[in-house]
């Protein structure tokens, strides 16, 4: 299989601390390690309306038009900058354009009129690409459902091998249950639901560590701090802020149970990282968590925002922490079933080669 010259469109830097950017960065590393060349096309972060103006950025258009590429992969996060640019680009380049979809903006919780607008813009963008790379089956179903058709696409899960698990710190059943939640502290991640459930539990036999940026939604974080103080949780809840991914393993190793009942996750790489550490996981039925964690086997899946259900489950586990042991053993075994980053990268390369062949046939017949 010949080496490819792959273009990748992103906002900002690959070092951004989110799961989507970690996926992009580690795929780039895997492609380069296999001999493929990767060219980054970065646009500056701005608000959504100003990103729409990128469609008329002649300099950016010329860079894409003149690039000698075998494929251009666009992180779907960049869709507002590309939905009018792409049709012009497709008429001037020979390479296929693929959209890498981590999360559908119109699939998030917000007022219906906003999602109607975002959905209209996303569908317009999706109609301008030759195919899709999805991070989960759930993401694929969402895109295909909104489009009303099944365009060429491939599901490539994140790799399992970017985190080196550490041995779990031993504990006795008499010690406080050590909970951990990892994710930027934004409303979508559902930390308010977890705190509300914990506020209903006995005060002395649990501790919660929260890893994730505290600066993305400052008003939300301020509300959480007020809740923590009002319910006398300050001694039991620690908000650590952002931690680089390569420094996450010790926090996971010092924990007994991972909890993040998000309102929606396109995949949720942190669930995979928790499984690597042998942590049972409590996750949400919304989104793709069910493709990673199986209810009753490696953890539990609960409806988002269901404080009562989460409180009941946590109370049961506090009363019987030994119930976590078989889940912990199953967690590590489940983690080993996921592909490596190298395997995922080559799966994308194989899909690109198929799309190149299709694109070449279309150009030969004038049907692109």
What per-residue confidence (pLDDT) applies to 365? 53
- For the record, the structure tokens of 335 come out as 């983690």
User: Residues near 73 by Cβ (< 8 Å), separated by ≥ 6?
Assistant: 6, 7, 8, 9, 97, 98, 99, 100, 133, 348
Provide the residue-wise pLDDT of the chain in tens; the chain has 368 residues. 589 999 999 999 988 877 788 999 999 999 999 999 999 999 999 998 899 999 999 999 999 999 999 999 999 999 999 999 999 999 999 999 999 999 888 777 778 888 888 889 999 999 999 999 999 999 999 999 999 999 999 999 999 988 777 777 777 767 889 999 999 999 999 999 999 999 999 877 899 999 999 999 999 999 999 999 999 999 999 999 999 888 999 999 999 999 999 998 889 889 999 999 999 999 999 989 999 999 999 999 999 999 999 999 999 999 998 899 999 999 999 999 999 999 999 999 999 998 776 666 555 555 55
Clarify whether residues 129 and 219 are in a common domain.
no
> Rounded CA gap, 298 and 264, in Å?
19
> Which structural domain, as residue segments, surrounds residue 211?
177-335
Clarify whether residues 211 and 290 are in a common domain.
yes
> Is residue 255 included in any domain, yes or no?
yes
> Rounded CA gap, 126 and 124, in Å?
6
Helix axes 19-33, 269-276, angle to 10 degrees: 70
Edge-first strand order for the sheet with 37-43 is 37-43, 5-11, 71-75, 97-101, 131-134, 153-155
Clarify whether residues 182 and 319 are in a common domain.
yes
Clarify whether residues 18 and 152 are in a common domain.
yes
Clarify whether residues 329 and 262 are in a common domain.
yes
> Rounded CA gap, 212 and 181, in Å?
8
Q: Do strands 299-302 and 71-75 pair parallel, antiparallel, or not at all (unpaired)?
A: unpaired
> Is residue 166 included in any domain, yes or no?
no
The domain that holds 155 is classified in CATH as: 3.40.50.2000
What are the CA-CA distances from residue 131 to residues 14, 151, 352 (Å)? 23, 6, 9
User: Residues near 201 by Cβ (< 8 Å), separated by ≥ 6?
Assistant: 311, 314, 315, 318
> Is residue 131 included in any domain, yes or no?
yes
What per-residue confidence (pLDDT) applies to 66? 95
| Residue 123: its H or E element | helix 112-126
- Residue identified by tokens 């103080």 is 229
> Is residue 360 included in any domain, yes or no?
yes
> Is residue 171 included in any domain, yes or no?
no
User: Residues near 179 by Cβ (< 8 Å), separated by ≥ 6?
Assistant: 198, 206, 207, 208, 209, 255, 256, 257, 258, 259
Clarify whether residues 182 and 298 are in a common domain.
yes
What per-residue confidence (pLDDT) applies to 115? 82
What per-residue confidence (pLDDT) applies to 169? 72
Clarify whether residues 243 and 322 are in a common domain.
yes
Identify which of 107, 154, 102 has the alpha carbon closest to the alpha carbon of residue 132. 154
> Rounded CA gap, 336 and 330, in Å?
10
What per-residue confidence (pLDDT) applies to 242? 92
- For the whole prediction, is pTM greater than 0.75? yes
Clarify whether residues 321 and 198 are in a common domain.
yes
Residue environment code for 240-251, b if the CB has 16+ CB neighbours within 10 A, otherwise e:
eeeeebeebbeb
Clarify whether residues 138 and 34 are in a common domain.
yes
Clarify whether residues 148 and 187 are in a common domain.
no
What per-residue confidence (pLDDT) applies to 367? 57
Clarify whether residues 205 and 306 are in a common domain.
yes
Clarify whether residues 148 and 32 are in a common domain.
yes
> Is residue 167 included in any domain, yes or no?
no
> Is residue 76 included in any domain, yes or no?
yes
**Number of domains, the chain:** 2
Identify which of 164, 119, 175 has the alpha carbon closest to the alpha carbon of residue 146. 119
> Rounded CA gap, 30 and 10, in Å?
17
What per-residue confidence (pLDDT) applies to 60? 95
What per-residue confidence (pLDDT) applies to 355? 77
> Is residue 182 included in any domain, yes or no?
yes
């Amino acid at each position: 299989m010949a080496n490819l010259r792959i273009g990748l469109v992103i906002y900002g830097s690959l070092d951004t601390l989110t799961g989507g950017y970690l996926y992009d960065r580690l795929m780039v590393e895997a492609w380069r390690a296999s001999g493929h060349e990767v060219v980054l096309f970065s646009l500056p972060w701005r608000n959504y309306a100003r990103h729409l103006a990128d469609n008329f950025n002649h300099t950016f258009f010329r860079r894409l038009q003149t690039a000698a590429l075998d494929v251009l992969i666009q992180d779907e996060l960049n869709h507002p900058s590309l939905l009018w640019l792409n049709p012009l680009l497709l008429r001037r380049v020979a390479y296929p354009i693929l959209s890498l979809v981590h999360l559908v903006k119109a699939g998030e919780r917000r007022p219906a009129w906003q999602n109607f607008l975002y959905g209209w813009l996303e569908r317009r963008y999706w109609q301008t690409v030759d195919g899709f790379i999805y991070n989960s089956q759930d993401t694929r179903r969402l895109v295909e459902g909104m489009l009303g058709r099944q365009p060429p696409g491939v599901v490539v899960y994140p790799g399992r091998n970017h985190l080196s698990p550490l041995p779990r710190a031993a504990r006795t059943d008499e010690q406080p249950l050590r909970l951990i939640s990892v994710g930027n502290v934004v409303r979508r991640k559902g930390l308010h639901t977890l705190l509300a459930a914990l506020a209903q539990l006995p005060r002395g036999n649990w501790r919660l560590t929260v890893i994730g940026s505290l600066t993305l939604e400052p008003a939300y974080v301020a509300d959480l701090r007020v809740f923590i103080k009002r319910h006398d949780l300050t001694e039991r809840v620690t908000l650590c802020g952002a931690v680089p991914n390569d420094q996450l393993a010790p926090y996971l190793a010092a924990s007994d149970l991972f909890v993040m009942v998000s309102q929606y996750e396109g995949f949720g790489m942190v669930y995979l990282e928790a499984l690597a550490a042998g942590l049972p996981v409590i996750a949400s039925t919304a989104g793709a968590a069910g493709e990673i964690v199986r209810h009753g086997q490696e953890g539990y899946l609960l409806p988002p925002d269901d404080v009562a259900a989460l409180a009941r489950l946590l109370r049961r586990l506090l009363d019987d922490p030994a119930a976590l042991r078989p889940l912990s053993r199953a967690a590590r075994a489940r983690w080993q079933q996921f592909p490596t980053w190298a395997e995922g990268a080559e799966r994308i390369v194989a899909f690109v080669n198929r799309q190149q062949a299709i694109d070449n046939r279309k150009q030969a017949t004038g049907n692109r």
